[in-house]
Amino acid sequence: MQQVFTKAMARNIFLGGAVFFLAIYVALSVDTWYRIPERDHADKLSPAVLQGKYVFDENNCIGCHTVNGEGAYFAPELGNVYKRRGSAFIKAWIESQPTGVPGRRQMPNFHLSQKQLDDLILYLQWLSNIDTNNWPPNIQG
């Protein structure tokens, strides 16, 4: 005997599934919002770090680089560059641009002041301390 699938049965299956997945979505969203403060360390946002973010935005660094996997994929990830390279390397690298090495992508020289450069490095240091669950997964230099 073949069972008849009625409109009422289809509606109940749809509504039951929708409510179930909505409940999962809400639970995961609430959990995420409760975990953000312990992971983003926003309490460590100093005026210098905020100025570094301003320098980052003013020079459209996200137009070429990614930060935690978001942005353009033309140049290396910056969310973990401080841990990979350190402040001395970052400062020297930015100051030496463009390198003029044939066949390599070139970063323009933004003619940043020492204060801007120091603030930018503090911002990159702050970024490197965000707990991203190791995202993006590629931390190679």
CATH 1.10.760.10 given to domain 41-141: yes
- pTM for the model: 0.77
Q: Mean pLDDT across the chain, nearest whole number?
A: 91
Q: Are 130 and 40 in contact (CB under 8 A)?
A: yes
Q: In the chain, where are the structural domains located?
A: 1-40, 41-141
Q: pLDDT tens for residues 70-112?
A: 999 899 899 989 999 999 999 999 999 998 889 888 999 999 9
Mean pLDDT (whole number) for 14-34? 97
Q: Is the pLDDT of residue 131 over 90?
A: no
Nearest to 141 by CA among 92, 76, 86, 64: 76
Does the structure show a pLDDT above 60 at 140? no
The answer to whether residue 65 scores a pLDDT higher than 50 is yes
Predicted confidence at residue 132, as pLDDT, reads 86
User: Using CA atoms, how far apart are residues 43 and 41, in angstroms rounded to an integer?
Assistant: 5
| Closest by Cα among 68, 88, 63, 33 to 138 | 68
